[in-house]
Chain A
Amino acid sequence: MSHYYFLPHQRIDDMLALLQADGYRCVAPRHHDSEINYDTINKAKDLPWGYHDKQQPGHYELSKSDHQHAFGFTLPTASVKPMLFKAKENVWKVQRNSEGKLAFEPIVEFEAIAVFGVRPCDLRGIEIQDRVFMENSYNDIRYIKRREHQFLIAMNCTKAHSNCFCVALGDSPHADKGFDLAMTELEGDGFVVEIGSDKGRHLLDRLNLEAATGGQAQRAVHKVEQAAIQQTKSLPPIKQIEAKLMANLEHPQWDDVASRCLSCGSCTQACPTCFCHTERDEANVLGTETHHTREWDSCFSIDHSYTHGETYRENPKYRYRQWLTHKFSTWRDQFRTKGCVGCGRCVTWCPVKIDVVDEINTICK
């Protein structure tokens, strides 16, 4: 028995085969065109070997080297969110017969998915969304089923990109909870594996891995520390941010950022915690059946606050303020947690390079 095991790169396929035999579809970061994104994988060769990413405000770039690592990049472009809370899905349907009688039926689709390689920030994003969709007064049965059928293999960070700021939020590039297994990659070698659940232990037991050596375990710890040190952004303590933002709703910086913000909603689409959605009907032409869809929405869309003939957040200033104060202040009141995990996607994918950390620091100065 051991706390830390070692999975050599050559044995990734054995792990994937076991997961597949258990009925999971294996999903991992994959290289496609100019990005690394989650997709189905069958073998270790499908992983993005040798790839590195460079992320800056409004900038994302990939390069390839002959380094022997599968997780040399930082973050996939999208988080795990779309696997649980889908960008668009039918949530129920209703059939109408010739007498006008309506038969409603929930649509609950899910499958068993094992995610090989979830960054610690994205794990925390899942935890935050759990509070919206499965630890709330009313829950979403689709989300719950998907979570129940999910196997999560965390991948601790060994590198940070320049928009990363989990450390500034008081978190760390080391996965702390919410995983079945957590791994740290040692280049040219394999992964130090940590167990986070009985489900994870059951899988490792069948792989017959060797215990990690003291040297391997220490190298892993050191690598993750390096990822923390690489982060350069700083923020005031989160409690201070939460109080100051809501006390500065008329700060001139809101006008300043609004003059740059395009109100495009890229930040909300890339965010692992944003949960806003809209619902609409898609009826067939015969008038006999309608599918009721749930689709991601954004507080940056002008329709978002439209109520009974009035748009409450009529300009980008109000919309940016809603987004920022929600993420970094009112989320705590609503869900007893912060609404941001510091992944930096909103900074990378902002077409006009707005850096949320800079905006907070200016307003909370």
Chain B
Amino acid sequence: MLYTNDAYTPYEAEIVEFIKEHHDIFTIRLKFTDPALENKYFFRPGQFNMIYLYGIGEVAISIVNDRNHQQGRFEHTIQVVGRITKGMMKLNTGDKVGIRGPFGTSWPMSEAKGKDVIIVTGGLGNAPLVAATEEILRNRDQYGKLCVLHGIRSSDLLIYEDMYTRWNNSPDTKVYMATSNSDPVDNGKWTWGHGYVTNFIPQLDVDFANSIVMTVGPEPMMIGVAKSFIQAGVKPENVYVSLERSMKCAIGHCGHCQLGSQFICKDGAVYPYPACEKLLEVKGL
């Protein structure tokens, strides 16, 4: 985090590009207006920022790396859920927001070196793993095989289509995608798979005992993914998940993101699965 004085106050950032991904999903490319911050800003894949919309409030959103890997720039892909994200949908290039961050733990990029990497996402869970995927592809020789599995309800919900095509054409990398909707609205244009992402497990040409799994999606999906890959032979400690809870402050003060002893904002959001397995099993914790 950038701050030395007050951890509550955001810094101004400018939208350098607004990309509409879907009717309720959009991506904003950002840079700090203060060049000193632009030079200093650095995040690790899996971390998040608090984005502030003038007059409305702050929301925690995971960081997507800048598409051009430019220093001091970063992206956020956002789905309209509440009033803050609804307001953000109306932003344009040149508009200003506030940024605090980065916060939280990151994906195990160094632990994954020398291993096969399996990235499993559902819905908009793909956004928090873009930066990790890109980091592997930029340091391709340091990692084993890369499998990217992505599940969506129906084909019209696919975002980042060009990126998936590029990844699928990268060395030692394969993308698997599936729609769970039994009546796909694709008019025959959908050339990927159907069903659940875990159905791909038998097809994966990886050494499960020497693989790392990173997964983001709805909690029941992440639990299912973790259990399935552990059953396939991945060591439990090599399965990583990213959890989500309400966050008002992101600095461990507001109490909203607690899960048992954990503050998701600082102890997470990325966890080795065994560290949160028991907590996720208790309803209402």
Chain A residues engaging chain B, CB cutoff 8 angstroms = 91-92, 94, 96, 100-106, 108, 132-133, 136-141, 246, 249, 275-281, 283, 287, 290, 292, 294, 297, 299, 304-309, 312-315, 317-318, 321-322, 325-326, 329-330, 333-334
Contacts and interface: CB of A to CB of B under 8 A. Distances in A.
Nearest to B92: A100
Nearest to A329: B261
Interface stretch (B7-15, B143-151, B190-198): B7-15
Interface stretch (B35-43, B66-74, B242-250): B242-250
B197 to A, nearest CB: 20
B7 A140 contact: yes
A333 to B, nearest CB: 4
A265 B133 CA distance: 44
What are the nearest 10 A-B pairs in CB distance?
Answer: A318-B284, A276-B255, A333-B261, A138-B251, A283-B55, A330-B261, A138-B7, A106-B6, A307-B246, A92-B9
A277 B33 CA distance: 30
B254 interface: yes
Contacts of B96: 96, 100-102
A249 B54 contact: no
A190 to B, nearest CB: 41
A277 B254 contact: yes
Contact of A138 (B52, B95, B245, B252): B252
A139 B252 CA distance: 9
Contact of A137 (B5, B95, B266, B284): B266
Contacts of A283: 54-55
B285 A249 contact: yes
Contacts of B184: none
A294 to B, nearest CB: 7
B256 A290 contact: no
Given A102-B96, A287-B55, A91 B253 contact: no
Nearest to B59: A308
A280 B57 contact: yes
B284 A312 contact: yes
Given A283-B55, A314-B284, A297 B254 contact: yes
A309 B254 contact: no
A266 B48 CA distance: 34
Nearest to B84: A281
Nearest to B79: A308
Q: Is the interface of B mostly helix, strand, loop or mixed?
A: loop
28 contacts: A91-B9, A92-B8, A92-B9, A92-B10, A96-B54, A102-B96, A104-B11, A106-B5, A106-B6, A136-B251, A136-B253, A138-B252, A139-B7, A140-B8, A276-B255, A277-B253, A278-B254, A279-B58, A294-B8, A304-B255, A307-B244, A308-B244, A309-B81, A318-B283, A318-B285, A325-B260, A330-B260, A330-B261
Contacts of A281: 55-57
B158 to A, nearest CB: 20
Contacts of A141: 5-6
B57 A305 contact: no
Contacts of B263: 334
A48 B95 CA distance: 57
A94 to B, nearest CB: 7
A181 B188 CA distance: 80
A102 B54 contact: yes
Contacts of A307: 244-246
Contacts of B95: 100
B258 interface: yes
B12 A102 contact: yes
Nearest to A313: B284
Chain A CB count within 10 A is highest, among B7, B54, B283, B284, for B284
Given A136-B253, A334-B261, A105 B9 contact: yes
Contacts of A329: 261
A133 B56 contact: no
Contact of A278 (B1, B97, B245, B248): B248
A91 B244 contact: no
